[in-house]
């Protein structure tokens, strides 16, 4: 079955980036969406809504600079950071930590991204304290780009540390960009920047078939404070 989305230039200005609705969250459709700069975002009771906002919020992982206070906190925290050790749980906690009224990560979304993990497309970073999962993030890999979906934190600085350590690891394996989709105050405070849709799409087209260094997303321990 051929899956085709409208071109992203036809996305609405208001609401910003709305491109299409309907369809499903099968892996084939999700992979096609992310390869074309599109992602699903909707609430329970709505049809699936597909978005390509402008401008786009991004991190350049090789330029992520943690503050001195964050470095100091992490050294004393005892936190452990891992990769792809508990992706299903990270997805669940990203939804649960926001509460039923605020999250867009519906049961349908959770199941879809957990399946994407099983198929090798969705990856997670976990932060642990004494074997308790206290923070993390997850997203979809497209070539050398990581399309971040959500993060959560149940302890001080846990999500910031997940992002910081992942940026180091991703850069070392040839990662070039982390897509954050839509800017918010939290992302801005971490150093996210905005680029227009055109340059983002051009970069995506160049990088979506590029290959990371071998073993980038192999489950492993990334750091022990």
Q: What CATH code is carried by the domain that includes residue 12? A: 3.30.70.3550
Specify whether 72 is located in the same domain as 90: yes
Condensed to tens digits (0 to 9), the pLDDT of residues 169-212 reads 999 999 999 999 999 998 898 899 999 999 999 999 999 999 99
Evaluate whether residue 141 is within a structural domain: yes
Measured CA to CA, the distance from residue 102 to residue 195 in angstroms comes to 27
The owner of tokens 């409208």 is: 6
Predicted TM-score of the model (pTM)? 0.95
Specify whether 158 is located in the same domain as 128: yes
The number of folded domains in the chain is 2
pLDDT at residue 100 is higher than 60 = no
β-strand pairing of 145-153 with 177-181: parallel
Is residue 121 within 8 A of residue 208, CB to CB? The reply is: no
Condensed to tens digits (0 to 9), the pLDDT of residues 58-83 reads 999 999 989 999 999 999 999 999 99
Evaluate whether residue 148 is within a structural domain: yes
pLDDT at residue 23 is higher than 80 = yes
Q: Which domain holds residue 80?
A: 57-224
Specify whether 41 is located in the same domain as 112: no
Specify whether 19 is located in the same domain as 72: no
Specify whether 49 is located in the same domain as 73: no
Specify whether 84 is located in the same domain as 38: no
Specify whether 44 is located in the same domain as 66: no
């Amino acid at each position: 079955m051929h899956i085709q989305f409208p071109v992203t230039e036809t996305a609405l200005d208001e609401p910003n980036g709305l491109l299409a609705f309907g369809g499903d969250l099968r892996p084939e459709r999700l992979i096609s969406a992310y390869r074309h700069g599109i992602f699903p975002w909707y609430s329970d009771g709505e049809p699936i809504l597909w978005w390509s906002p402008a401008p786009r919020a991004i991190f350049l992982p090789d330029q992520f600079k943690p503050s001195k206070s964050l470095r100091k906190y992490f050294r004393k925290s005892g936190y452990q950071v891992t990769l792809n050790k508990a992706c299903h749980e990270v997805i669940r906690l990203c939804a649960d930590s926001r509460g039923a009224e605020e999250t867009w990560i519906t049961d349908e979304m959770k199941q879809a991204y957990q399946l994407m993990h099983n198929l090798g497309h969705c990856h997670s970073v976990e932060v642990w304290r004494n074997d308790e999962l206290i923070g993390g993030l997850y997203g979809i890999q497209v070539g050398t780009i990581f399309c971040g979906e959500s993060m959560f934190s149940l302890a001080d600085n846990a999500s910031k540390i997940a992002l910081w350590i992942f940026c180091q690891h991703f850069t070392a394996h040839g990662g070039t960009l982390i897509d954050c989709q839509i800017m918010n105050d939290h992302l801005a405070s971490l150093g996210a920047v905005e680029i227009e849709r055109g340059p983002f799409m051009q970069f995506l087209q160049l990088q979506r078939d590029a290959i990371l260094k071998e073993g980038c997303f192999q489950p492993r321990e990334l750091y022990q404070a």
